[in-house]
Structure 1
Amino acid sequence: MHDDQKKQTVLITGATGYIGRRLVQQLRLRPEYNLRLLVRNRHKVQAALIEKMDIREGSTFDLGSLHDALDGVHTAFYLIHSMGSSDDYAARDRTSAENFRDVCIATGVKRIIYLGGLGVRGDASEHLLSRIETGEILSAKPGEIQTIWFRAGVIIGSGSASFEIIRNLCQKLPIMITPRWVRTRTQPIGVDNVLDYLESSIALDHQDDLIVDIGSEDLSFQQMMEQASQVMGLKRYLFPVPVLSPHLSSYWLILFTPIPYKLASALVEGLKSETIVQNDNSIRFFPEIKPFPFRETVRAAMRELEQNQVLSRWCDSSAQQACDIREFDTPEGAILRDIRIVPYRNGEQPANVFRAVCALGGENGWFRYNFLWRVRGTMDKIVGGYGLNRGRRSGTELRMGDALDFWKVVDLKPGKRLLLHAQMKVPGQAWLEFDVQENQLVQTAHFLPKGIMGRFYWYSLVPLHYFVFKDLAKAVVDSSRYFQNE
């Protein structure tokens, strides 16, 4: 206990997001730190870590929980942003950053470490400008607390939004008519390098505020696409034209990538502006870190995908619908249901049935009527939803908060229950529940309609539900035999 009191306590916010999950895994191996996480829902933390780590529930908008989380902290990571969450996301980001900074000062935190985006105020997009404002707010009181502000452009790693866009476009389109912004310059950086910078900044011997721009070689988005294609062994041709507006470009992205419209629109706006390193502080203060070339970061990301080792994804904790899964983890209020009960008739084992349930979706598909699921996914993408091609992080494993096509895992009881909440565009709330019992599988589609349109939506799909849901429940039980010898 005495040794623990000598250790520095490090707080990570955004610990269930893309960068946060990976930073937690990296820092938990450092014995000199006591690691503390501030999360909205502790159940979204990896199950293996819940009992091994100091986890505080709350948010930057709840000052009481924020005081509790920051009490006794030496260094605090701020890995929060509200990109695409609502029309007032910029105001929310400002309030969040102000609250965090002020409570850090009040509780005696020594250092804030923030990861923002590259760009300059003059031509920054609305979302990049919000990231810049967040950095300015966090570092607005240099006499009272130190802030180390990292600024990164395109982050490349398995599961990152930028990498998913590049990978999907390269793999699906041999010839691309592209907008002019593909020639915009940026300096991409591998996610492993980003984590190294963040980790090294905890013990950095520097007293004043610091802005550190990080990135590798200077490339255009077109050059990144061409180099990524070569790494994948593909030959691709890009033809930039001036007629694709940002609006059309966003639809172009959502049709061929897992990215929903709001996020695609924000990314396209950002890609119109150059995101180039403006200082050499990464070399001056972190000379031991050598950014990997772009090709190497793509190879590393592809290896993780091929080996089913994707630790986090861009949609893990996005500020989109059902980000806080606690709000959606119970379907008791639903008034419309489709219930399918499939008895075990051929010696099926409940454990294997549950494994079959957890293997649904993504590249594994949805059995006999998979084409209907894909049609529904395409319709969802067209109206700005996630669609089916968001896929899944792992081909065999699910965890709380995982994205699964246009669903989100909101409850998971190993060997017993999987509850999915729909993130598709529907006039109401929808869930799909699998209850694995000793002698049967009970599959229930729950729906809470919103007004007359919600009821019309449900009843118009009843004929399709009869075939699709009936087949799904039966096929899950039948497919469980493939797991018997594993």
Structure 2
Amino acid sequence: MKILITGATGYIGRRLAYELINDGADLRIFVRNSAKLDRKILSSCETVEGSTFNPDSLREALNGVHTAYYLIHSMGKSGDFEDMDKQSAELFRKECIIAGVKKIIYLGGLGETESASKHLRSRMETGDTLAAEHHKIQTIIFRAGVIIGSGSVSFEIIRNICQKLPAMVTPKWVDTKTEPIGVEDVLRYLKSAGLRTFQPSSGKVVIDIGAEVLSFKEMLEKGAETMGLKRRVFKVPILSPKMSSYWLIVFTPVNFGVAKALVEGLSSETVKLNGNAEKLFPDIVPESYEASFRRAIEDIHNRQVISSWCDSSNGKACDLPFVHDISHAVFKDRYVKEIGKSDPKDVFRNIMTIGGKNGWGAYDVLWRLRGFLDKLVGGYGISRGRRDDSDLRIGDSLDFWKVADLVPEKRLLLSAQMKLPGTAWLEFQLIDGYLIQTAFFYPKGLLGRLYWYTMLPFHKLIFRRMIRELVTDTQT
């Protein structure tokens, strides 16, 4: 039984791929950019590159498939994301039917359509679109609320708020009820649905999943308690959704677009509306919120963060272009350092650990200041950190950068995701005993050129010391 996963570079899709690989499933991955996949996934299953908007690549991906997981949705701020989500789901459904796929499995969101936010409503409509011809193909729709796991956006928001604020002033939506569930339980449901047979063999099955009903305030309090912290929450009626979004971007890793979508989603209840999970999966008993939160903390401490909320290929916030043609850059600022007796492997290991809690090797206060300014204008800042303290892979977030290319012991290319009047890259190369560090910039108009010349003195201050530290650390 061949299984297809779409969205395998996303938060849930990547973890599900690992689960099915470990179970020995006959798995195929459909992805826009296979370079973002881990080596284990690439070596363990088939991979087809393409888009759900391209019928030809869809047909190749769906050939011979029995069960197809559709794990795609938008969290970007593009105004037409609802139409694009619908078009993608509609084409996917049609091609599944033509290919003879027996079952589509989708993960959407909990809640009532009438009161749902724009993003949540789009996820519901995506499920309806996939199931529009359920008499021809069985469609299993799981609906989940807040997902708790290492690297999930909800968990990271709660963890950061609790760690940074001993007392929290919050808006009234903290009393809104939701039904959180651990990511491990979500994977158990998804995997089980792919392996079992539902009767009849056609039709639409909606399965609401969750562990317990809690308010966001209770999740904050229980999360803090799980980390051994005492936190107090004070509600005020004056924080609008927009103000709340700005409040979140200051203290959490998310940018304004993601924060706004999440705050809008918290304005309405997201609790289970049916008991199908208990009826159809009596063997699965979701663990408590505290247990899921504790497991997520342990994964971070044990460096087992398999996926992160910004791994997705969907939307400008997280995507990587297929071609990183830095040769088109107008401005270049290059620094070269002979590594001498240092082992190139050690130098590259230093390069692989930059950013996040490890810092940038030179004038970290200036990096933090640049990150704070980026946050103020709706960017990510440097609070997003990194998935792992010592390991990077293509597609990983690295503060306000994204790993665009990685050749072990030879090259690391970072693509800038801070708010800029242009496009920027930062490249590290090891060539013939030299470390070459280059900042590339493609300006947008006059403002972009003014920005480059304004930042150039800071580059020279920071990058000269940075390249020296990257080599020197290996000689101590």
What TM-score range do you get, normalising by the shorter chain?
over 0.9
Equivalent in the alignment of 1:398? 392
Equivalent in the alignment of 1:436? 430
Q: Which amino acid aligns with 1:307?
A: N
Equivalent in the alignment of 1:348? 342
Q: Which moved more, 1:473-482 or 1:129-138?
A: 473-482
Query: 2:353, 2:330 → 1: CA distance?
Result: 28
Match of 2:380 among 386, 406, 410: 386
Equivalent in the alignment of 1:19? 12
> Using a 3 Å threshold, how does the CA distance of structure 1 residues 287 and 222 change in structure 2: closer, same or farther?
same
Q: Which amino acid aligns with 1:271?
A: L
2:303 pairs with 1:308: yes
Q: Which moved more, 1:71-80 or 1:197-206?
A: 197-206
Equivalent in the alignment of 1:3? none
Equivalent in the alignment of 1:135? 127
Match of 1:455 among 443, 449, 456: 449
Q: Deviations over 1:44-63 (max 9, x none)?
A: 11023213210000010111
2:411 pairs with 1:417: yes
2:219 pairs with 1:224: yes
Query: 2:77, 2:237 → 1: CA distance?
Result: 30
Query: 2:474, 2:333 → 1: CA distance?
Result: 22
Equivalent in the alignment of 2:312? 317
Report the TM-score when normalising by structure 1: 0.96
Equivalent in the alignment of 2:278? 283
Aligned partners of 1:322 and 1:328 also within 8 Å? no
Q: Secondary structure at the match of 1:288?
A: coil
Q: Which moved more, 1:74-83 or 1:432-441?
A: 432-441
> Using a 3 Å threshold, how does the CA distance of structure 1 residues 26 and 200 change in structure 2: closer, same or farther?
same
Q: Deviations over 1:381-406 (max 9, x none)?
A: 11111110000000000011100000
Aligned partners of 1:336 and 1:447 also within 8 Å? yes
Query: 1:319, 1:124 → 2: CA distance?
Result: 21
Aligned partners of 2:76 and 2:317 also within 8 Å? no
Q: Which amino acid aligns with 1:211?
A: V
Match of 1:79 among 45, 48, 71: 71
Match of 1:61 among 53, 60, 65: 53
Report the TM-score when normalising by structure 2: 0.98
Aligned partners of 2:169 and 2:233 also within 8 Å? yes
Q: Secondary structure at the match of 1:337?
A: strand
Aligned partners of 2:32 and 2:313 also within 8 Å? no
Aligned residues: 473
What does 1:10-159 correspond to in 2, within 5 Å?
Answer: 10-31=3-24, 33-159=25-151
Q: Secondary structure at the match of 1:264?
A: helix
Equivalent in the alignment of 1:184? 176
Aligned partners of 1:350 and 1:438 also within 8 Å? no
Q: Which amino acid aligns with 1:189?
A: I
Query: 1:113, 1:126 → 2: CA distance?
Result: 22
Match of 2:186 among 177, 194, 204: 194
Query: 1:205, 1:47 → 2: CA distance?
Result: 32
Q: Which amino acid aligns with 1:20?
A: G
Q: Which amino acid aligns with 1:441?
A: L
Query: 2:91, 2:270 → 1: CA distance?
Result: 28
Aligned partners of 2:208 and 2:274 also within 8 Å? yes
Q: Secondary structure at the match of 2:108?
A: strand
1:479: Cα distance to partner? 2.0
Aligned partners of 2:18 and 2:41 also within 8 Å? no
Q: Which amino acid aligns with 2:337?
A: V
Runs of 4+ in structure 1 displaced over 6 angstroms?
none
Identity across matched positions, percent: 52
Q: Superposition RMSD on alpha carbons, in Å?
A: 1.1
> Using a 3 Å threshold, how does the CA distance of structure 1 residues 322 and 179 change in structure 2: closer, same or farther?
closer
